[in-house]
Amino acid sequence: MVDLRTTISSWKGRHSSEISDAKEIVHATKKSPLTIVGLSLVVALVLVAILAPYISPHDPIAMHLENRLASPSMSHLLGTDELGRDILSRIVHGTRVALLIMIIVLAIDLPLGVFLGIVAGYFGGWVDEIIMRMADIFMAFPRLILAMAIGAALGPSLVNTMIAIAITMWPAYARLARGETLSIKERTFIEAEKALGTSKARIILSSILPLCSSTTIVRATLDMGNVIRIAAGMSFLGLGAQPPTPEWGLMVATGRSFLINQWWVPTFPGFAILLAVFGFNLLGDGIRDISDPHLRRGE
Amino acid sequence: MNFREYLVKRMALFIVVIIGVVTVTFLLSHVIPADPVGAILGENAPPELVKKTERLLGLHLPLHQQYIRYVKGVVYWDFGIALRTQNPVSKDLRAYFPATLELVTLAMLIAITCGIGLGILSAVKRNKMSDNISRVFSLVGISMPAFWLGLLLILILYYHLGIIPAGGRLSPRISPPLTVTGLYTVDSLIAGEFRTFWDALYHLLGPALVLGWIQTAYICRVTRSSMLEVFNEEYIRTARVKGLREKIVIFRHALKNAAIPVITMVGISFGYLLEGSVLTETVFGYPGLGRYAVNSFLSLDLNAVVGSITLIAICFALSNLIVDLLYRFLDPRIKY
Amino acid sequence: MIPEALVEINDLVINFYTYRGVVKAINGVNLEIKKGEFFGLVGETGCGKSVTGSAILNLVPNPGRIEKGEIIFKGKDILSMDEDDVRERIRGKEITMIMQHPIAALNPVLKNGDQITEALSRKMSEGAAKKRAIELLKEVNIPEPEKIANQYPHQLSGGMAQRVMIAMMLATEPSLLIADEPTTALDVSIQAQVLSLLQDLIKRHKASVLLITHDLSIVAETCDRVGVMYAGDIVEVGEVDQIINNPRHPYTVGLMRAIPSDSRKELVGIRGSVPDLVNPPPGCRFHPRCDYTRDICKERKPKTMQMESNHTAACFLCEGGRSG
Amino acid sequence: MGEIVRLEHIKKHFPWKKRRYVKAIDGVSLLINKRDIFALAGESGSGKTTLGRVMLRLIDPTSGAIFYEGADITNIKTEKEIELRRKMQIVFQDPYSSLHPRKKIKAIIGSGLKTHHLVKSEKELVEKVEEFLNLVGMGKEHLYRYPHELSGGQRQRVAIARALILNPGFVVLDEPTSSLDVSVQAEVLNLLERLRENLNLTYLFITHDLSLARLFTEKIAVMYLGKMTEYGETEDIFKNPMHPYTKALVSVTPKLDPKERTKKIILKGEIPSPIDPPLGCGFHTRCIEKVGRICERESPQSKEMEEGHFVACHLY
């Protein structure tokens, strides 16, 4: 018991800085109601995605043709679609698809972009030239158009959607990481490490990477909503997820023909997209503001 | 480096990017797809037809010859025949591109006026009610799926209120004006046909509102944060110390500096607008380049796909080029 | 003859509302700047000297708030004046200011000449304003004033930019120029030029100067009177000779012992560090670092004591003098 | 008392747009003996900071040679270079940017120990870092703090500990107190003085503040536009400055005590840009004792005027 207590207090002593940082972040978050709304939306989305099979009232795939295009009611809160599937259940399961795409795309792009950006920025010369011209070329296409072209070339499917979006997004992170690296490289603490004889690899890993990745991660939180939106757009055009996957964009696309007479069929899935993207954007904005000491401290 | 040297360097980059774009497009259209002809004709197509289509598309040649043929095509602006429309692709592009240009320009005008205005208001009234409203408005804007917003507008503005038409570029009874620029609004004014002008504008309204709102949101955000940043600068303090009126401080001292990132954003916006136009045109049935591209993608019409994305990418690269040059023009600090 | 007061700061209190809590930055400051004098306000980082300067223009930066006090300028309280009035009559007309980083203080996208003409009276015609701007640039010893007027601020060196600032801020013949660390960012040889220029001009224009600086030596060489600030309090005010030869407040004494000079073989620092003004020490704010702390110092804020004519100090050690 | 660092005809020209160069250092030779405190004084653009970096081989010179304890280190590479890093260290001007903002004090001070494998275990590392924290007047309560939680003076102490933990013989102090308040500056300088006594250090003290140089150092070299103008024992130079630039600089350095003030020699004009500096003597554009055309044509050679007192000026 006493041992535990001393362990805890020594841990607290060593991490007092982190504890006060955490307190500061909590304090700053509390003062920003929009961030709290965003955070709650995102937490809710994640919970819905995890618990989808347990909380969705019906099977998202099973068809009930006798009950097609039913308007919202107690048994089908958001109505049913043209094949009699419960729209609420499909939206709930759609959360999984949306989050999965987002997580996979960022899990590929963040490390890739940061790695290429740091290499380009730190070493400069022709390495920089090649990486950055590649980035320029990929950035010369509007994202959705390039993703569409890649999606069309690979054939429409969920996996190809992820690959397509991933290919369009790395240049943004690479550029950001390169810019950060260029400015960090000039700062005195890097010169101090050189003076100590620290190797290049260690300077990159222990001094540049932590600073570089935090800015890029902040930027990525601002992009989370974008990924969801682009994926939904591709599916809407028929170049992404294929039926019967419960994907929001696809649901809007198939429900489009019922817009006038059964408005709920395309409207609710679209609203789900808006809500999810809005949540991530609010949270991203909040994280950016809180992570910027200038904004955080200046009231 | 003086301006001319910079111009040369920037043009060189532009050419590198265009060559890259053309190459990427080639890879996407000719190398990655395993069996393009099979994809077009289906698996059980008769072998003669397969052969014929392959010949038509040049797929029987070795890859490097295909590439040369392809690059030649781009240089002479000849992408071959679009399988879907049976027209030369370049003719289709000429027909559809002005429609999109018209739409994008109108949306951009809406976005620049509203976005910069709202952004300034938001920054000046920081943390006040009007700031919060405009922030939420623009956050909703950047979160909005364009295709869904389009559907909502059709449901409400067309079906329930009847303010906008169902789709198309002109009403069926009205014939297009004599082609000068291809932009119906401009051509009708040149021809003096005001009824056609109003009708064309009326058809632009729905899609332009969708694109305009989303773009307003982006520009508003950049303007706001850029203005706030400039407000912290020492020279704004100097302007206040000089006793200048707030209006002069904001418009003469702050806005001129804040404009630089805003212009970059407007340039990037052009790309967002092009991709937004793909979705919006599809929803509104507006016969523009975006819808043409989507339909070509869906029917795997190789030549048309290549033509439309090459054109879009060139437009985008061109707008980036213009922004870069403008940027240097506006900021006297940049030493080439 | 005692020159009359130009600015009188009475019981000024300014707080900054930050995420960490309320920073009690200015803790009841009283100060008087006389007509035609060169007044030095000295103190270390965070003592509130710059904030006091901006308060005179009622331009305290965010998130600061003036809680109470008055700043009487020519018989009127600036702090209770209408914002429009302050802007129309005081700022840029009667009171102006130059800053530490002259290049950052000039607008990068406007030409130097235009920034000067803008400061001139609005009644002046454009041509007359341009002519006047060139004259002003000549007055601050800028070679080729026409050329400089047509250039942008980033094309200037720090010293040149500070001259442009001075020309701009003297354009309206103000009666008070606040100079906030005007030479800190400049080289020593340029600093000497700018300070001697400033002294000349002030004499010619019959203005007063409030020189805000961390460098007591500069004050000793250029000013008539000096105020020493510590942690939001004015601890000592007097004529330069009085302060240099006979400092009375332990902080002033400590500060002087820390400045290198030929007669000193060893520097002595002041132990401890500047307190966090979110939770300032009770009583005298200097007591945790003072060598003469008594019990009373921890409990009460010392009153300002009159030491000799024109020399005051806020310290219980000085209670021998009359209470002022 | 042998030599520790010797520079011979060091030039450093940074390339600048189309075949033009920033002549940061333009032919400097100097010798620093063991246990010296050697001041390198000058204004911005004088090349003093670059020269400090060149000595440590943080910047490679364009030409010339650097010797450490008699051995030529101008071109050494890899292992030998890393070995050299242990012997020569540096403390930077701004402790706000010289400490990594996301690392704890323990990691900052301990970094060199890890690189040079001077400790075997984490425990040993912590003990060693604690020892040096104590040495610079701080305590183990600071081990797990981040730099932003410390005051300016404390940060500079951390920077000093980081440099000294490798047990170097030679330390470059690049304006170590210019971003600190005066009351803190005094304490840091006193600490440096004490450490030199205890650890047998040699300092190169780079500064723009002549009054600090006079108080703290034993020898001084004054630089202007990449060249050395005057060099000698600090006391000699202050008692009898000979180069017109030194004279002016000494006269305009603000002094608290009115008795120490002399008539100010206010130099006209600006310091010329080190890109295409003036021909001849770099100072001739501002000099009030110009001898004649020779100043515009020929670069003056350094002459020994008194014992150990060198001046580069056509006056002599």
Burial of D71 (0-12, 13-18, 19+ CB in 10 A): exposed
Place of tokens 């919060």: B132
Residue C245 has pLDDT above 80, yes or no: yes
Q: Max Cα separation, chain C? A: 67
- Identify residue D271 by its one-letter amino acid code: I
Residue A298 has pLDDT above 70, yes or no: no
Q: Sheet harboring C76-77: ordered strands across?
A: C21-34, C5-18, C64-73, C76-77
Option in A137, A155, A238 nearest B20 (CB): A137
Q: Does domain A32-64+83-298 have CATH number 1.10.10.10?
A: no
CA angle A32, A37, A41 (to 5 degrees): 150
Confidence of residue C53 (pLDDT cuts 50, 70, 90): very high
Side-chain-side CA neighbours of A5 within 13 Å: the count stands at 2
> What average pLDDT does range A83-96 have in this prediction?
91
Element spanning A266, H or E: helix A264-291
Mean pLDDT of chain D: 92
Residue A297 has pLDDT above 50, yes or no: no
What is the per-residue pLDDT across A14-25, written as a single tens digit (0 to 9) for each? 788 788 778 878
Higher pLDDT, B126 or A276: A276
Long-range contacts of B64-67 (CB under 8 A, 24+ apart): B66/B26, B66/B30, B67/B26, B67/B30
Closest CA in chain C for residue A25:
C19
Confidence of residue A246 (pLDDT cuts 50, 70, 90): very high
Most confident of the following: A28-32, A153-157, B296-300, C136-140: C136-140
CB atoms near residue C204 (< 10 Å): 10
> What average pLDDT does range C250-258 have in this prediction?
93
Beta carbons of A239 and B134 less than 8 angstroms apart: no
pLDDT, residue C21, reads 84
> What average pLDDT does range A265-284 have in this prediction?
93
Residues of B whose CB is below 8 A from A144: 275, 278-279
What is the per-residue pLDDT across C308-320, written as a single tens digit (0 to 9) for each? 888 999 999 887 6
Residues of D whose CB is below 8 A from C243: none
- Identify residue A178 by its one-letter amino acid code: R
Report yes or no: C274 at the D interface, CB cutoff 8 Å: yes
Option in D86, D100, D143 nearest A189 (CB): D100
Residue C322 has pLDDT above 50, yes or no: no
- Identify residue A264 by its one-letter amino acid code: W
Beta carbons of B309 and B315 less than 8 angstroms apart: no
CA D216, CA D282: separation in Å to the nearest integer?
Answer: 28
CA A238, CA A256: separation in Å to the nearest integer?
Answer: 13
| CB contact set of A208 (below 8 Å; sequence gap of 6+) | A118, A122, A181, A184, A185, A190
CA A141, CA A149: separation in Å to the nearest integer?
Answer: 10
Report yes or no: B91 at the C interface, CB cutoff 8 Å: no
Number of domains in chain D: 1
Report yes or no: B228 at the C interface, CB cutoff 8 Å: no
Query: Closest Cα to residue D158, out of C280, A189, B121?
Result: A189
CA D111, CA D109: separation in Å to the nearest integer?
Answer: 6
Report yes or no: D80 at the A interface, CB cutoff 8 Å: no
What is the per-residue pLDDT across C173-217, written as a single tens digit (0 to 9) for each? 899 999 999 999 899 999 999 999 999 998 888 899 999 999 999
Determine phi and psi for B77, rounding to 5 degrees.
55, 45
Residues of C whose CB is below 8 A from B229: none
> What average pLDDT does range C238-252 have in this prediction?
93
Residues of A whose CB is below 8 A from D115: 196-199, 202
Query: Closest Cα to residue B313, out of B1, B11, B23, B54?
Result: B23
- Identify residue D255 by its one-letter amino acid code: K
Record: contact D183-C187, CB cut-off 8 A: no
Record: contact A142-B274, CB cut-off 8 A: yes
Residue C324 has pLDDT above 80, yes or no: no
Q: Which of residues 154-193 of C touch D (CB under 8 A)?
A: 157, 159-160, 187-193
State which residues form the domain around D192.
Answer: 3-312
> What domains does chain C contain, in order, with CATH numbers?
5-94+172-320 (3.40.50.300), 95-171 (no CATH)
> What average pLDDT does range C99-116 have in this prediction?
93
Residue D121 has pLDDT above 80, yes or no: yes
Residues of C whose CB is below 8 A from D238: 262
Closest CA in chain C for residue D253:
C188
Closest CA in chain B for residue A273:
B145
Specify which residues D207 forms β-bridges with. D41
Beta carbons of D261 and C222 less than 8 angstroms apart: no
CATH of the domain at D89: 3.40.50.300
Convert B178-206 to b/e letters by CB count within 10 Å (16 or more is b). eeeebbbbbbbbeeebeebbebbeebbbb
pLDDT, residue C79, reads 94
Q: Which of D93, D148, D181, D271 to mutate to test the interface with C (most CBs of C within 10 A)?
A: D181
Q: Which of C17, C18, C19, C20 to mutate to test the interface with A (most CBs of A within 10 A)?
A: C19
- Looking only at the bridges linking them, the beta strands covering C305-308 and C322-323 are antiparallel
Report yes or no: B305 at the A interface, CB cutoff 8 Å: yes
* Cα B32 → chain centroid: 26
Residue A83: strand, helix, or coil: coil
CA A159, CA A151: separation in Å to the nearest integer?
Answer: 9
State how far the alpha carbon of C149 is from the alpha carbons of C99, C103, C107, C115, C186, in Å: 20, 15, 13, 9, 21
Report yes or no: A296 at the C interface, CB cutoff 8 Å: yes
Place of tokens 């709920």: A264
Q: What single-letter DSSP state applies at residue D316?
A: -
Place of tokens 């090349």: D47
CA C3, CA C6: separation in Å to the nearest integer?
Answer: 9
Residue A146 has pLDDT above 50, yes or no: yes
End-to-end CA distance of chain D: 31
Record: contact A16-D166, CB cut-off 8 A: no
What is the per-residue pLDDT across D259-312, written as a single tens digit (0 to 9) for each? 888 899 999 888 898 888 898 999 999 999 988 899 999 999 999 998 899 999
What is the per-residue pLDDT across D8-61, written as a single tens digit (0 to 9) for each? 999 999 988 777 889 999 999 999 999 999 999 999 889 999 999 999 999 999
pLDDT, residue B141, reads 92
Determine phi and psi for B193, rounding to 5 degrees.
-95, 90
Mean pLDDT of chain B: 86
Interface of C with B (CB under 8 A): 57, 59, 61, 87-88, 90-93, 96-97, 99, 101, 104-110, 118-119, 152, 154, 165, 168-169
CA A58, CA D175: separation in Å to the nearest integer?
Answer: 73
Mean pLDDT of chain C: 90
> What average pLDDT does range D79-85 have in this prediction?
88
> Between chain A and chain C, how many beta carbons pairs sit less than 8 Å apart?
15
CA C305, CA C290: separation in Å to the nearest integer?
Answer: 18
Per-residue pLDDT of chain B (336 residues; tens, 9 = 90+): 577 888 888 888 889 989 998 898 888 887 777 666 766 666 677 778 778 777 777 777 788 888 888 888 888 888 888 888 888 999 999 999 999 999 999 999 999 999 999 999 999 998 888 888 998 899 999 999 999 999 999 999 888 888 888 788 888 888 888 888 888 888 888 888 888 888 888 899 999 999 999 999 999 999 999 999 999 999 999 999 999 999 999 999 999 889 888 888 888 788 788 888 999 999 999 999 999 998 888 888 888 888 988 898 888 888 888 888 887 777 777 654
- Identify residue A75 by its one-letter amino acid code: S
